[in-house]
């Protein structure tokens, strides 16, 4: 475990308070429909090109990985500028040893620097009602805070937080960010992008697909998609990626969700997968993106973007 006095002294009421505070901040920014340099509609954030952008993929309870990334991007300096953004792609919890501590860290960061931090939802932050248990948080909460209080905070505030997390982030003209993938159905060219926004409510098909989908190079019988073996979500083809990039006027889909050695590229550079943890996947290294606005403007595809992936 990382030696951090703030974390080792964390009490259940302290944790509950932090969760309350971050929920309130997210409610407020979603009610106002804006964040510095961007607008918010439902669970979709559309940002102008920031001064600097950092993107962090699946953390899966690996606090060491998070702290290493923070050190590399010089976090304290980075978040002081409201025009710099850090986007987390979700899957903060499960598998690693520090899910609670990761949630605590990122919530504190959002509370201190609300304009610089964007928190997305992963499939491991699934709604309570979903059929597949998405994490080992109940066990972690009981170990750390005891059964009664641990489960109480888990059942109320943690799910409330998960419900406030974003599903799609767009960096205008360049990036389309989701945790898992793009939905298989794109309603032809007349389909306005607003369609997606209206269809990302909880339990809609798009909601499930955004959290669970994976890109695949080859699908049987040249299909555009097939059901995923994960039990939820689909595998989508390069032609679907192409349609989404066109519909959203962006160049690259950036997502997490699949373990890989820091990053991988699919669909001829249309999709970049970022993976940012090591504890539960010791064979892999930690990848994250750090890129300036100037560099972002010149991105044509995932290969260009991959030049800005740092591997630790």
List contacts with Mn ion (CB under 5 A): 91, 122-123, 257
* Residue with smaller CB distance to Mn ion, 157 or 257: 257
- Please, which residue, 209 or 304, has the CB nearer to Mn ion? 209
Least distance to Mn ion, CB of residue 162, Å: 13
- Tell the smallest beta-carbon distance from residue 138 to Mn ion (Å): 19
Least distance to Mn ion, CB of residue 60, Å: 9
Which residue's CB is nearer to Mn ion, number 62 or number 91? 91
By beta carbon distance, the residue nearest Mn ion is 257
Q: Which is nearer to Mn ion, 238 or 276 (CB)?
A: 276
Instruction: State the nearest-atom distance from the C-beta of 245 to Mn ion, in Å.
Output: 21
Site of tokens 């066109």: 246
- Would you say 123 or 200 has its CB closer to Mn ion? 123
Q: Are the beta carbons of 293 and 51 closer than 8 angstroms? A: yes
Output 18 or 102, the one with its CB closest to Mn ion: 102
* Minimum gap (Å) between residue 205 Cβ and Mn ion: 18
Min separation Cβ 136 and Mn ion, Å: 14
């Amino acid at each position: 475990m990382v030696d951090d006095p703030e974390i080792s002294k964390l009490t259940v009421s302290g944790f509950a308070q932090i969760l309350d505070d971050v929920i309130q901040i997210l409610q407020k920014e979603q009610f106002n429909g804006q964040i510095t340099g961007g607008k918010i509609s439902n669970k979709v954030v559309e940002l102008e090109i920031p001064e600097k952008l950092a993107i962090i993929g699946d953390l899966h309870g690996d606090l060491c990985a998070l702290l290493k990334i923070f050190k590399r991007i010089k976090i304290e300096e980075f978040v002081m500028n409201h025009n710099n953004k850090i986007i987390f792609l979700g899957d903060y919890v499960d598998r690693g040893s520090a899910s609670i501590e990761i949630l605590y860290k990122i919530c504190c960061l959002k509370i201190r620097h609300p304009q610089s931090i964007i928190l997305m939802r992963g499939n491991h932050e699934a709604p309570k009602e979903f059929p597949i248990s998405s994490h080992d948080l109940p066990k972690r909460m009981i170990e750390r805070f005891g059964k009664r209080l641990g489960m109480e905070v888990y059942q109320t505030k943690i799910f409330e937080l998960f419900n406030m997390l974003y599903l799609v982030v767009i960096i205008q003209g360049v990036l389309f960010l989701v945790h898992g993938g793009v939905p298989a159905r794109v309603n032809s060219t007349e389909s306005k992008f607003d369609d997606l926004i209206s269809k990302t409510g909880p339990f809609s098909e798009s909601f499930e697909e955004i959290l669970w989908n994976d890109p695949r190079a080859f699908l049987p019988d040249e299909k555009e998609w097939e059901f995923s073996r994960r039990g939820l979500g689909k595998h989508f083809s390069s032609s679907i990626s192409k349609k989404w990039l066109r519909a959203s006027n962006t160049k690259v889909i950036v997502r997490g969700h699949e373990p890989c050695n820091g990053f991988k590229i699919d669909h001829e550079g249309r999709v970049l997968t970022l993976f940012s943890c090591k504890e539960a996947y010791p064979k892999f290294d930690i990848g994250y993106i750090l890129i300036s606005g100037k560099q972002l403007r010149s991105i044509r595809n995932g290969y260009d973007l991959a030049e800005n992936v740092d591997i630790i």
